[in-house]
Amino acid sequence: MIVKNDYNLVQLQAKVQSQLSQYRFQHCLRTADKAVELAELNQGDVLKARVAGLVHDYAKERSDAEFISVIKQEHFDPDLLNYGNAIWHGVIGAYFIKHELGIYDEEILNAVRNHTTAAPQMTLLDKIVFMADYIEDGRDFMNVDEARQVTLADLDDGVRYQLTHTLELLLNKKTKIYPKTITSYNAWVAGH
């Protein structure tokens, strides 16, 4: 099937590949495939799902110095400096994607911004990318099959599942938790 769109997917894929290790590029391809599957299942925009899934980790292998200089020069919230790549590659990653890949669609950019922390209010595309990243076919963590089952049955339940398990993991590791992750957890899970 020929899809009419504004994105040259072949070119986009090559650009993403040029910035990533083979291992992470393959993860991006699998995330894009899973995002398409979730979009089809939930009546979402299949093309935006593919593009957002493909580019979501575009900036993941940038140096800390590069992120720090963008945070400072572009006047992002200085509190971001207290965190690291795990948070930066989403929030600041969207900046690189916009300026280097020429993707200006705010829906796609927001899905990238929210893909590690989720958000109290999420669009369908946000949820699709958040979950596709978590359950793509190469993932192999304990309970991944359960996570897949829950997500395929109900996307919102999947979001709750991931937020709960990620927060547990962060608490166990005694990692500093980015406030938005907690806000997301409170909105989606606490009290439900």
Cβ neighbours of residue 130 closer than 8 Å, sequence gap 6 or more: 111, 114, 115, 118, 122, 159, 162
How many residues touch Fe ion (CB under 5 A)? 2
Give 23 or 43: the residue with its C-beta nearer to Fe ion: 23
Which x/- pattern over 57-76 shows residues binding Fe ion (rule: CB under 5 A)? x-------------------
Instruction: Quote the radius of gyration of the chain (alpha carbons, Å).
Output: 16
For residues 163 and 118, what is the distance between their CA atoms, to the nearest angstrom? 8
Compute how many other C-beta atoms are within 10 angstroms of the C-beta atom of residue 6.
10
Residue given tokens 């893909």 in the structure block: 115
Which x/- pattern over 18-57 shows residues binding Fe ion (rule: CB under 5 A)? ---------------------------------------x
Beta carbon of residue 122, minimum distance to Fe ion (angstroms, whole number): 16
Give 61 or 74: the residue with its C-beta nearer to Fe ion: 61
Site for Fe ion in 94-153 (CB under 5 A): 133
Which two three-digit tokens encode residue 152? 């395929």
Beta carbon of residue 113, minimum distance to Fe ion (angstroms, whole number): 11
Give 37 or 133: the residue with its C-beta nearer to Fe ion: 133
Handedness of CA 23, 24, 27, 29 (dihedral sign): negative
Give 52 or 71: the residue with its C-beta nearer to Fe ion: 52
Beta carbon of residue 35, minimum distance to Fe ion (angstroms, whole number): 11
For residues 149 and 25, what is the distance between their CA atoms, to the nearest angstrom? 25
Binding site for Fe ion (CB under 5 A): 57, 133
